[in-house]
Amino acid sequence: MSDPKRTPFYNQHVEAGGKMIDFFGWELPVQYDGIVAEHLRTRNAVSLFDVSHMGEFSIQGEKAVENLQHILSNDVVKLKIGQAQYNFLLNEEGCFIDDLIAYKMAEDCYMLCVNASNTKKDFTWIESQLIQPVDFKDISGETAQIALQGPKAVQVMNQLVDTDLSKIRYYHFEQIERKGVTITLAKMGYTGSPGFEIFCPWERGEEIWSKLIQAGEEVGIAPAGLGARDTLRLEAGFPLYGNDLDEQTDPLQAQLERFVAFDKGDFIGKQALVEKKKSPLEKTFVRFILEEKGVPRAEYPILDLQNQAIIGEVTSGNHSPLLGKGIGMGYVKKQMLTNPNKIGIKIRSKVVPAALVEGSFLPGKA
């Protein structure tokens, strides 16, 4: 087993007191001063996350769009330069190989950002499905990524760039040149709080991280680790591949049909999904909030409250620092649900009642 890889910010993590762990072959901080503290700081001020472990691929050439339309679920043709789009890589059964973001960098030039845990798998899969000629590369090793998230993110970024940041719309990005370095500044994130995802060349990462820490000092910026990243995305209601999405689950079950463009031409998984649409779902993704004390966790059974029948399983769960309650997501066989608004979560010997919620757990968000 080889040593875990390090991102450009390894030294900075250690200096800041980061508790380093092996995350899918990467040495990353799970926390610094505490998951709850880092979580709340992100919601109230601003945090910095090292997300350089994520995979990035570039796909270029005249056949780039044709290839993307073939392997991705969403309609890539809709993308304009400077726009990003949530997408799925589906297999022939219409099930998730990965979820990812596609970016249109220039004409016939796209970037895909994939989960760190799936980088090798995705690359091998896409390579095997390519319609040549097309230029497809793994640029993960040259691309560092930082997430700047929180209500003060724009304020911090404004100190470092001349661009009018209010011009960058959600799920859009700008490529900014600073001292001969191109950085991609995307207005989006995985926390549910406003902010940016910043792509830069690997060797300039350390410098950019320092500049962001400096610029954010007056608003109390601090780095946040993988632990907070997970509790934040959970509160935002975002699924995580490996927990909520996997190769035994499809977008219909995951309630993510809106990211599948059934009206575009043929794509991998389309036929299987068209067939599946004809029958009721075997399982349906739900989000819930506990009505009593407890922490729901992955693999805990979900029961029908009336008859105590096991109707599903939790796939993601934790304590919500903002709500002060246990929240989670999972799959249930909806046909077996007696009360459409409530379920029971089996936490050791107790069945804790939980209310079903739609979308995000965050107040004021869809």
Partner 1 sequence: MHDGVDMEVRSELKYTEDHEWIAIEGDIVTLGITDFAQNSLGDIVYIELPEVGTIVEASEAVGNIESVKAVSEIFSPVAGEVIEINKDLEEEPELVNTSPYDEGWMIKLKIDPAELNDAGLLNEEEYVKMTENKGS
Residues that bind partner 1 in the complex, under the rule CB under 8 A: 17, 19, 30-37, 227, 231, 293-295, 297, 318-319, 321, 348
Tokens of 181: 């370095």
Find the shortest distance in angstroms from Cβ 37 to partner 1: 8
Strand 5-6: give its sheet, edge to edge. Answer: 5-6, 26-31, 19-23
Query: Which candidate, 105, 134, 99, 136, places its Cα nearest to that of 118?
Result: 99
Q: What is the rounded distance in angstroms from the CA atom of residue 155 to the CA atom of residue 57?
A: 30
Find the shortest distance in angstroms from Cβ 345 to partner 1: 13
Contact 306, 338 (CB under 8 A): yes
Find the shortest distance in angstroms from Cβ 293 to partner 1: 6
Q: What is the rounded distance in angstroms from the CA atom of residue 276 to the CA atom of residue 50?
A: 39
Non-local CB neighbours of 53 within 8 Å, separated by 6+ positions: 5, 7, 23, 24, 26, 28, 116
Q: What is the rounded distance in angstroms from the CA atom of residue 71 to the CA atom of residue 268?
A: 6
Nearer to partner 1, 76 or 314 (CB): 314
Find the shortest distance in angstroms from Cβ 313 to partner 1: 17
Q: What are phi and psi of 109, to 5 degrees?
A: -140, 115
Q: What is the rounded distance in angstroms from the CA atom of residue 149 to the CA atom of residue 51?
A: 12
Nearer to partner 1, 117 or 320 (CB): 320
Find the shortest distance in angstroms from Cβ 264 to partner 1: 41
Nearer to partner 1, 169 or 350 (CB): 350
Q: Most distant CA pair in the chain: distance in Å?
A: 66
Q: What is the rounded distance in angstroms from the CA atom of residue 143 to the CA atom of residue 145?
A: 7
Tokens of 337: 């649900």
Nearer to partner 1, 39 or 187 (CB): 39
Nearer to partner 1, 295 or 356 (CB): 295
Nearer to partner 1, 192 or 269 (CB): 192
Find the shortest distance in angstroms from Cβ 143 to partner 1: 29
Nearer to partner 1, 323 or 355 (CB): 323
Find the shortest distance in angstroms from Cβ 225 to partner 1: 10
Which DSSP string corresponds to 135-169?
EEEE-GGGEEEEEEESTTHHHHHHTT--S-GGGS-
Nearer to partner 1, 232 or 261 (CB): 232
Nearer to partner 1, 17 or 220 (CB): 17
Find the shortest distance in angstroms from Cβ 292 to partner 1: 11
Q: Which residues face 96 on adjacent strands?
A: 90
Q: What is the rounded distance in angstroms from the CA atom of residue 22 to the CA atom of residue 266?
A: 40
Find the shortest distance in angstroms from Cβ 364 to partner 1: 24
Contact 212, 219 (CB under 8 A): no
